Amino acid sequence: MASIPFTLAALSTSAVPGLVVFGAREHESDDSFVSAIVVTEDAELLVRVPRTQQAEVQQSAELLGLAALTDGPRSRLPFTVPTALGMTRAGDTRAVVTTHLDGARFEADALTDDAILLQPLAEAIAAIHELPITVAQHGGLPVRSAQDLRVLATRLVDRADATRLLPETVRRRWTHVLETADLWDFTPTVVHGSLDAEHIRVDEATVSAILGWSECSVGDPAADLAWLLAGGPEVLDGVIARYARARNSESLSHLRARAALYHELEVARWLLHGTETHDQAVIDDAVTMLDRMVGTGGALGAAFTAAVAAAPLSSDEVVALLSQTPDIDDAQSDTAAFEALDEDRMFGVDTDFIEPLTEREGDSDGDSDAEATGVIEDVDSAGDGEQLTEPISDDELPGSISR
């Protein structure tokens, strides 16, 4: 184990020509990567080597996301984003070198509705959502319509229902939200896509850096707010109120209802992960969380009631958006390392520094997931990708969810 940082330091000099390394140390990361911090004369760099094919896909996605965030978009963000510096082969895979952005960390469930951090969090999220859509379009990132996102959520519920482990009460609640068309009348924005406390670094009372851009795309802004429910409904309301002052957003009650839905759907993903990997402990954990949602209505119940009953609220009214709802244990922070990479990501676009991996045996079905999303990427011979969205038929709309 002691030799790993030095091995990765040697790889970093191959990935970044002219790099002079003064030292290296171990870096705590998830089990999907081998990583180390490399010390240079004036900076610290992060070197990561994926352990699995899934981790390679995630790393490719993150490189695409970072490449799309060129100097222009970065200048509009009130925080720092990692920069990819180079990559090199490492056995059957590759080592990628990026700038290392460190800072204080926090737990989402430790946030309170009067925390000073709520304001910088709201400003940071709003800044991401204010980026031009062309950032994603020119970067070859997924661009999805509100209808696309509704259908993807519907498919996730269908898959969870097919396990026969989804309580009927929970299924009906999710279906009801998906069938309420008004909730899905929104304008997609650039989103981080996998935002949570794990990816955020803070310095005193500011957000200093945001990591983990593998899910960056044009999507639902509510998805970047869902993780805040780990701190309770009041924390989400507090951030949404401040978020609304930072950007001219849609109906706040609708935004909150979809955020609550995405928060609950994380449990569906956890259930599917357990069934797909035949991990009974994960399955039992997910079933326990789903059972808790049956009696309480979960975070979604009050949010949906408020969204369908009330007119769009002003930013000053949003703090009183919901009545108190019972807390549910959230496994999002505990299970984030096990989330399957979004099955709808596509990685056909070449960049200047992303080196394509050699196709391995057994990966012949690697394109099936991308096709399932209805998002098709057409890459011409020059390597420029134009991303199209395949029309979605009426049969795939939430009203046709199988019972």
- 244-250 contacts at long range (C-beta below 8 A, 24 or more positions apart): 244/314, 244/315, 244/318, 245/122, 245/315, 246/122, 246/123, 246/126, 246/127, 247/126, 247/129, 247/130, 249/129, 249/221, 250/186, 250/187, 250/312
Confidence tier at 332 by pLDDT (50, 70, 90): very low
Distance of alpha carbon 211 from alpha carbon 196, whole angstroms? 10
User: Mind listing the pLDDT tens digit for each residue in 111-168?
Assistant: 999 999 999 999 999 999 999 999 999 999 999 999 999 999 999 999 999 999 999 9
pLDDT for residue 2 is more than 80: no
Question: Distances from the Cα of 269 to the Cαs of 65, 115, 208, 335, in angstroms?
Answer: 23, 30, 30, 10
Task: Please report how many Cα atoms fall inside a 13 Å half-sphere around the Cα of residue 26, on the Cβ side.
Answer: 7
> CA angle, corner 136, sides to 133 and 141, nearest 5?
145
- The neighbour count for residue 110, using CB atoms within 10 Å, is 12
107 near 193, Cβ under 8 Å?
A: no
Task: List, in order of start, the domains of the chain with CATH numbers.
Answer: 4-99 (3.30.200.20), 108-341 (3.90.1200.10)
- Pick the range with the lowest mean pLDDT from 60-64, 217-221, 285-289, 326-330: 326-330
Q: What does pLDDT average to over the chain?
A: 81
- Position 341 scores a pLDDT of 34
Tell me which of 104-113, 250-259, 393-402 is least confident. 393-402
Can you tell me whether residue 394 is helix, strand or coil? helix
- Portion of the chain with pLDDT greater than 90, in percent: 66
Range in 34-43, 199-208, 384-393 the model is least confident about:
384-393
283-306 tens-digit pLDDT: 999 999 999 888 765 566 556 555
Region of poorest pLDDT, from 157-161, 306-310, 351-355:
351-355
> The pTM is what?
0.74
**Of the candidate ranges 42-56, 104-118, 301-315, the one whose mean pLDDT is the lowest:** 301-315
Determine the 3-state secondary structure of 121 from DSSP.
Answer: helix
Tokens found for residue 328 = 């549910």
